[in-house]
Structure 1
Amino acid sequence: MSTALMSDARTQAPALSWARLWHNSQAVVVTVALHSAVIAFLVLGWSMEHEMAVPAPSTLKTRLVMMPAEPVAVPPEPTPQPVVTPPPVVEPKPEVTKPDPQIQARKLEQAALARKRVEEQKQLKEQQRLQQRAEQAEMQRQQELAEQARVAADNARRAQQAAAAAAADVRQYLPISKQAPDYPQRALDKGIEGDCTVEYSVTPQGKVENPKVVGDCHPAFIRPSLVAAATFRYQPRIVDGQAVTVPAVRNTFHYKIH
């Protein structure tokens, strides 16, 4: 501490000297200004008196007075204040409340019941979904079986109708008489064999109308086949109590040499 004070005094000494010089120079300037003013006043007054009357010469004596400089007050050095460290703030610890075992057990039981209830709902929904799927599958199977039964019934009914229609057609235009054609002598001499199919219509009177040869037929068998078909007689077809024409009736003649 003593070393610091001595260092401050040395550094402030030049500052005090300059302040004293500055105050002294100010005092000198003020003194010179006052003397100059007095001299000017006297000279002016003397000039005026001289114009009015010639005064006796006078002598003015001046004296330079050095006024002492005012002492500069040195501010006292600040006393260093001791650093006070605030005591550490101790936060109060929160009180830990221990849960009641009964309340904790009740909460656990409620949570377990809630989980069990959720699982039961999930199982119930899964069972309902499986049951609905099974019902839908059973319904679809029943529909498929019903459709198959309906198709089978329709097919059976159509088959019965077709069989009945075929039987009716056979009964309705059964041939009453058929005469075999004559074997052509030329084909017989040459040993020619073959088949010849003739197509015709059966009239309501049971006669053959418009016979014609269809398919492959040897030329030697065409005429005897048409002549034989024209002699055929049939039982006419009856529809709604009336005899009708049966078109596209075919008969095949087989020419074989025995």
Structure 2
Amino acid sequence: MTGISMPMSMQRAHWPSRGRRRHALALSVAIGLHVLVLAALLGHWQVVPPVEPQVRTLSTRLISLPPPAVAVAERIRPVAETVPEPVEPSPRVESPEPEVAALARKRVEPRQNEVRRVAELQRAARLKRERQLAAEAQARAEEQRQQAVAAEQAAAAAKARAAAEALAAASRPYLPISKQAPDYPDRALDKGIEGDCTVTYGVTPDGRVENPQVLGDCHPLFVRPSLAAARTFRYRPRIVDGRAVRVPNVKNTFHYRIE
């Protein structure tokens, strides 16, 4: 009989260690528990058929009832207005200005002051100019008013002077600048008849006599020579308001005397 002896080192190499045996035992116990739980579930599992739904019929009937008065009154009751309480605004918390903004404002302030000063100077100059123009306009208006018053006074004076001249001319006799004496009638000379004859007529604007007529008592022998002599008279035209006018009722008396 042949015996084989192996070294102790080789036998220890093929036998598992104690830790591995513990892990294998725990794994076997876990598998066994799972198998038992699965068998229990399969044993108590029952297939329950689905329950058929039951059909129920509901019958309704519509009945109309009058609304209750209380409900209507409550429905139309005015709702009191609620005035919201004023909400006080929360105070604004301003953050302090940065130093950069303060420095920038300090730099801008002199320029703004200069611009404001220039604007005020311009405004003062404009107001001064407007006052000066208003004073000049008022002075011109006063001068024009004085000129108008002076013109009115001059026109009134001229009118008064013309009226005075016309009155003076009417008051004094209107004498001819050229006239011819009448011829003494021979029959009056032979009979020694003397007398006066007054003739009235009008003077045209060019100074000529028109429509002479004997006025008052005049000897018949003196009528014809008196009218002929009156037609030869020439007068200076009478000027009224800058134009020549006709002068009516001019009279001239012829005196017939034997020397």
Question: Is the structural similarity TM-score above 0.5?
Answer: no
The two structures have a TM-score, normalised by structure 1, of 0.35
